[in-house]
A and B are shown apart, each in its own frame.
Chain A
Amino acid sequence: MNSSQCTDKLDTFTLGPLEAGPACCDPQPAIQVRNLSLLYDGKAALDKVTLDIYQGCITALIGPSGCGKTSFLSAINRLTDLIPGCNVTGKILVHDQDIHHPDTHAQTLRRQVGMVFQKPTPFPLSIRRNLSLPLNEHGITQKTEVASITEHVLRDVGLWDEVHDRLDASALSLSGGQQQRLCIARALALKPQILLMDEPCSALDPLASGIVEDLICRLRGRYTIVIVTHNLAQARRIANYAAFFWVSGRAGQLIEFGRCQHIFESPSHELTAAYINGVRG
């Protein structure tokens, strides 16, 4: 699948096409990362990463395992707070707001910055409850409103037709691909501006993976998406920007960041070139 197929999909998009968000790849930074270092129990996992992530675009983080991509992702929604012994230094601005500022509440931040994990993890509750739980937590309790958001996001992820007649069934009865789309819907229900995705397709079979990938393409423009992927072909297909991480010494470093085409076709760093071409990594 190439990018033109992705664009075709926009016609079937329920929310209407790109005008919902700013034009894709209009380079306005949604996330500004400055000198981000991350230590686990004093051992550096990420060393001085400086990076802008542009609004409405899909930015792919690529690189070998253990180079800090997931740590980078978790630092953006401060999920790193939950890891004992994890120490984050440097600055991250999400929509010009410092996420480490004492006034920034982690729960509010995580509402703005949704996250989807590698392993589909629906809560062991009904499909409906999976979506209403986070909504209720954030003060959206009116039944009609919850129901309309539920339908809306399930349509968004293309799950509505498959599950609308069994919303009260356990979410665990869904297939792996459906579970992952439910998790994406769950993240979307909170109307985040940014979506972090940690290898969302890698636990899925190729067919389900393709469906999720199409879905990610459909979200382009409306959401700023940061996606970690080990699948270079996928990164190339869906991303507008790519950031290449590599382990040097013990800590992960950002080696190169740029437009996807540039990274894949004419990388400026020899490590990038070697990784892209499968010589190393």
Chain B
Amino acid sequence: MILSERNTLFRLILIDKLLIGILRAGAMLAALVMLLILFFLVDESWPVLSKLSIVRFIDDASWHPLEGAYNLMPMLSGTVLTSVGALLLTIPLSLASALFIVFYAPIHLATLYKRLIELLSGIPSVVFGFWGLTTLVPLINQWNPPGASLLAAILVLTMMILPTVTLTAYTALAAVPEELLRNAAALGLSRWGMIKGVALPAAKTGIAAGIILAAARALGETMAVLMVAGNVVQYPETLFDPVRTLAANIALETAYAMGDHRAVLFVSGLLLMLLVMVLSGMAGLLEKQRHA
């Protein structure tokens, strides 16, 4: 028999099976934790989800949880506005940075610049918040008080997601096959014509996936936004009005929330998680499309 116990091949197959088992268990564990968190969120928010109609979260007069008014919409709008604002600023800046690294910068400068961006991605969010609080907010205050505002939150978030979008865009652009670019050059395309006509279309799914991941991060970012956004529950009328995001709200109120109030905070957590799940689902679809 070929597969006798003394056979090395047999032993190797055994080790292989063991490894597969370990990997599978690890993967299952990770997925399980994720499911447990989801379960926990639903479980904790169930008291109000079963008692109150969902319309209450949209239709209540205001957010006064101690008096039983649970309108989440101003904070949802705060979350969406800060994230969308940050994305609007980030996308052009990041694309410009990535294009600069891949197509324009001389090699040494490109490496240095990329290192800087990588460094930026490693800064803890609380440090960004700190910087925002001590530098950005006073500056905006001088311009248009009070300073702690939607604008401050947008700027701090921009700083935080800029490296993510830049680095994913860089990876996508650097992965555009050399032959495509050589073909474009051989057709007499200018550098910009080549970038616009060939490189960006070829890299677009990768770039979009990076943007979506960054959006997910922006939606969920808590600390830095909390420190600079002013945290007034309201629909902001200008960029200089303070806002409160859902994530900041949870951080601010969990400490003293009880009963229904506590459960509503979990509902807002669930809402955030669903938003992020939809976004990462979209990113997954894009990935699939790219490899199709």
Contacts and interface: CB of A to CB of B under 8 A. Distances in A.
Interface in B180-207: 180, 182-190, 193, 197-198, 201-202
Interface string B145-181: 0000000000000000000000000000000010110
A123 B186 contact: no
Contacts of B186: 77, 79, 110, 114-115, 117, 187
In the complex, the 5 A-B pairs of residues with the closest C-beta atoms, listed nearest first: A110-B188, A115-B186, A134-B187, A111-B188, A107-B188
B179 A117 contact: yes
Contacts, number: 66
B188 A124 contact: no
Contact of B193 (A115, A119, A124, A137): A137
Nearest to B107: A84
15 contacts: A106-B188, A107-B188, A109-B188, A111-B187, A111-B188, A115-B183, A115-B186, A117-B186, A119-B179, A133-B187, A134-B187, A134-B188, A138-B188, A186-B187, A190-B188
A117 B182 contact: yes
Contacts of B183: 115, 117, 121, 123, 183
A183 B197 CA distance: 16
B185 A82 contact: yes
B223 to A, nearest CB: 40
Contact of A123 (B185, B188, B190, B201): B201
Given A117-B179, A123-B183, A133 B190 contact: no
Contacts of B198: 123, 125, 133
Given A79-B182, A107-B189, A123-B202, 7 more contacts: A109-B188, A110-B187, A117-B182, A121-B177, A124-B202, A137-B189, A187-B186
A133 B183 CA distance: 12
A108 interface: yes
A85 to B, nearest CB: 11
B193 to A, nearest CB: 4
B180 A108 contact: no
A131 to B, nearest CB: 10
Nearest to A137: B193
A77 B187 CA distance: 10
Interface in A80-139: 82, 106-111, 114-115, 117, 119, 121, 123-125, 133-134, 136-138
A190 B187 contact: yes
Given A123-B202, A133-B197, A137-B197, A82 B182 contact: yes
B188 A108 contact: yes
Contacts of A183: 183
A137 B185 CA distance: 11
Nearest to B186: A115
Given A107-B188, A134-B189, A124 B179 contact: no
A49 B232 CA distance: 77
Contacts of B189: 107, 133-134, 137
Nearest to A118: B179
A60 to B, nearest CB: 20
